[in-house]
């Protein structure tokens, strides 16, 4: 199985900060990576697919990059609505696995 | 508007059974693969099972293989998860998720999620 490792596990930041979350795959997954945002008590929401494609309706301050085994999610200017937990997930092959999550907290 | 509404969760004793349902609307249900994803309290996301749009192909995580069965009724736009021999470690919020493609093992991501139904396994 492909293992997904996110860093950091927790991130403290202020409104307006540029935030970067890293996700590493244990083997190459080409660009078959998605990013999700989850707020407390809510279902995950798709932000990015195919490593860098922005889902419709997602603010342009979110961007994704990378290929192979290393990927990043960047929030260009953190907004109050962005404080949440973020998960990466590969869909290169069965079984699909998620990173352990990165919680973005208010500094 | 895509909507996924899970039901069927509850409290069950270890070794017991439960059947989850997910009613789908807002898209051509039979054209898309579907999955169940769970989240234990305070923990991350774990993919559980997948089924193709036709229902002919299914996949399971090793942790549930042989105990859980995924199925779908395309005439009712409904996804199911039959859970048998439940264990304490199966306690979680179970989400129904739509895949972006039709093949069970295809390269497709989870583009829509339901709100989840809570399963608690405890004596």
Q: What is the pLDDT of residues B90-106, one digit of tens each?
A: 999 999 999 998 887 77
pLDDT at B103: 80
Task: Give the model confidence (pLDDT) of B5-18 as tens digits.
Answer: 999 999 999 999 99
The verdict on A35 touching B (C-beta cutoff 8 Å) is no
B51 forms beta bridges with: B34, B58
Distance of residue A106 Cα from the nearest chain B Cα, in angstroms? 19
Distance of residue A88 Cα from the nearest chain B Cα, in angstroms? 10
pLDDT at B123: 95
State which residues of chain A have pLDDT below 70: none
The verdict on A64 touching B (C-beta cutoff 8 Å) is no
pLDDT at A107: 86
pLDDT at A93: 87
Residue of B99, B35, B38 whose CA lies nearest to B71: B35
Interface residue of B107, B111, B112, B116 to substitute, partner A, most A CBs within 10 Å: B107
Residues of chain B with C-beta less than 8 angstroms from the C-beta of A97: 47
Phi, psi (rounded to 5 degrees) for A47: -110, -50
Please tell me the distance from the alpha carbon of residue B33 to that of residue B55, in angstroms, as a whole number: 8
The verdict on A101 touching B (C-beta cutoff 8 Å) is yes
Contact check, Cβ <8 Å, A89/B110: yes
Q: Decide the pairing of beta strands A70-75 and A62-67.
A: antiparallel
Alpha helices in chain A (DSSP H): none
The encoded tokens of residue B17 equal 């059974």
Residue of A37, A20, A22, A51 whose CA lies nearest to A81: A37
Q: Give whole-number Cα distances, B108 to A46, A102, B24, B79, B98, in Å.
A: 12, 23, 18, 18, 10
Please tell me the distance from the alpha carbon of residue B33 to that of residue B112, in angstroms, as a whole number: 12
Contact check, Cβ <8 Å, A42/B59: no
Burial of B112 by CB count in 10 Å (0-12 exposed, 13-18 middle, 19+ buried)?
A: buried
pLDDT at A106: 87
Contact check, Cβ <8 Å, B110/A93: no
pLDDT at B71: 98
The encoded tokens of residue A93 equal 């092959």
Task: Give the model confidence (pLDDT) of A40-70 as tens digits.
Answer: 999 999 999 999 999 999 999 999 999 999 9
pLDDT at B15: 98
DSSP E strand boundaries for A14-69:
19-25, 33-38, 45-49, 53-54, 62-67
pLDDT at A37: 98
């Amino acid at each position: 199985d492909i293992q997904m490792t996110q860093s950091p596990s927790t991130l403290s930041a202020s409104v307006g900060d540029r935030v970067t979350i890293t996700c590493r795959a244990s083997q190459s997954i080409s660009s078959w990576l998605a990013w999700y945002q989850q707020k407390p008590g809510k279902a995950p929401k798709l932000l990015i697919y195919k490593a860098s494609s922005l889902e419709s309706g997602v603010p342009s301050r979110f961007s994704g990059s990378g290929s192979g085994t290393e990927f990043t999610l960047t929030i260009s200017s953190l907004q109050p609505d962005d404080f949440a937990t973020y998960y990466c997930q590969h869909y290169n092959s069965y079984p699909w696995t998620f990173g352990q999550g990165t919680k973005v907290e208010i500094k | 508007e895509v909507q996924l509404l899970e039901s069927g969760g509850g409290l069950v004793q270890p070794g017991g059974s439960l059947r989850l349902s997910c009613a789908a609307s807002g898209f051509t249900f039979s054209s898309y693969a579907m999955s169940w994803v769970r989240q234990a309290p305070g923990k991350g996301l774990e993919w559980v099972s997948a089924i193709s749009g036709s229902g002919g192909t299914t996949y399971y995580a090793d942790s549930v293989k042989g105990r859980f069965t995924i199925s779908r009724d395309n005439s009712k736009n409904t996804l199911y998860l039959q859970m048998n021999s439940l264990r304490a470690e199966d306690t979680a919020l179970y989400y129904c998720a739509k895949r972006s493609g039709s093949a069970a093992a295809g390269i497709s991501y989870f583009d829509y999620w339901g709100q989840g139904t809570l399963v608690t396994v405890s004596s």
